[in-house]
Amino acid sequence: MPSAHKTGTLYLIPVTLGESAIDFVIPPEVKKIIHSLDEFIVENEKSARQFLKACSTPVPQSQFLFHVIEKHNPVQENKLFFQSLLQGKNIGLMSEAGVPAVADPGAAIVKMAHEQKIKVVPLTGPSSILLALMASGLNGQQFCFHGYLPIEKQERMATIKKIEKESAQKNQTQLFIETPYRNNQLLADLVNSCAGSTLLCVATDISLITEKITTQRISDWKKSSVDLHKKPTVFLLLSK
């Protein structure tokens, strides 16, 4: 990717989705790029250090420079993060899990990079949202990711109804997530709110040894017993 830029490149570095082997989700050339870096903008320094260690990076841990994203005010706090990039050094952006800038605070950093005409290169790795969509068998031609649904009961039920209706109107797969300790409650709310014919995919522990992906009608979920407590899960819904 030749460039007239004198600025560095911001590499978007995927990390594992939990305790999975690096070689199951990270391509060799991506690993090489990771090995070439010693400065990172990260969501979480501890998990970033663990990932780099698991990647067998040749850079000693003491030589890493980490900039931790201030989630609640990414733009104001993070201008200093770009000094090295503007001086021509390549640096990496890393999420706590999966690919950066999707369902995490990294997008604000990427936006700032574009504003400063810094080259952004996304690297291939695991995304629980994308892997869940692939494996769901639901519509992959039109889909919508909503992030977290509202916590408050009435509001949540109303949102589920609205999402289900939109899914039918637009033939659109609806994806959403929940804080893992509230997963069982969300599944119960879905089973209680949605039509029996609506398809629901529950994709748990994606890319891990315990991965479980089930797509069935709400009427079948009513008869199923499943424990999602504290397990990272993507929910996908399609109503016809």
Residues that bind a copy of itself (CB under 8 A): 1, 12, 21, 23-30, 99-104, 106-114, 120-122, 124-127, 129-147, 172, 201, 206-207, 209-211, 213-216
Asked if 238 contacts 175 with a C-beta cutoff of 8 angstroms, the reply is no
- Per the listing, tokens 């993070």 go with 78
Residue number with CB closer to a copy of itself (23 or 60): 23
Minimum separation from the CB atom of position 62 to a copy of itself (A): 29
Q: By C-beta, is 172 or 183 nearer to a copy of itself?
A: 172
Residue 23 vs 63, nearer CB to a copy of itself: 23
Nearest approach in angstroms of CB 106 to a copy of itself is 7
Nearer CB in complex with a copy of itself: 61/173? 173
Rg, C-alpha atoms of the chain: 20
Pairing of strands 91-94, 199-204: unpaired
Residue 176 β-bridge partners? 235
Task: Please list, residue by residue across 39-53, b when 16 or more beta carbons sit within 10 angstroms of its beta carbon and e when fewer do.
Answer: bbbbbbeebbbebbe
Nearest approach in angstroms of CB 110 to a copy of itself is 4
Query: DSSP 3-state helix, strand, coil percentages of the chain (rounded to 5)?
Result: 40, 20, 40
Quote the least distance from Cβ 68 to a copy of itself, whole Å.
18
Which CB, 62 or 140, lies closer to a copy of itself?
140
Least distance CB 149 / a copy of itself (angstroms):
12
Three-state DSSP state, 145 = strand
Q: Is 177 helix (H, G, I), strand (E, B) or coil?
A: strand
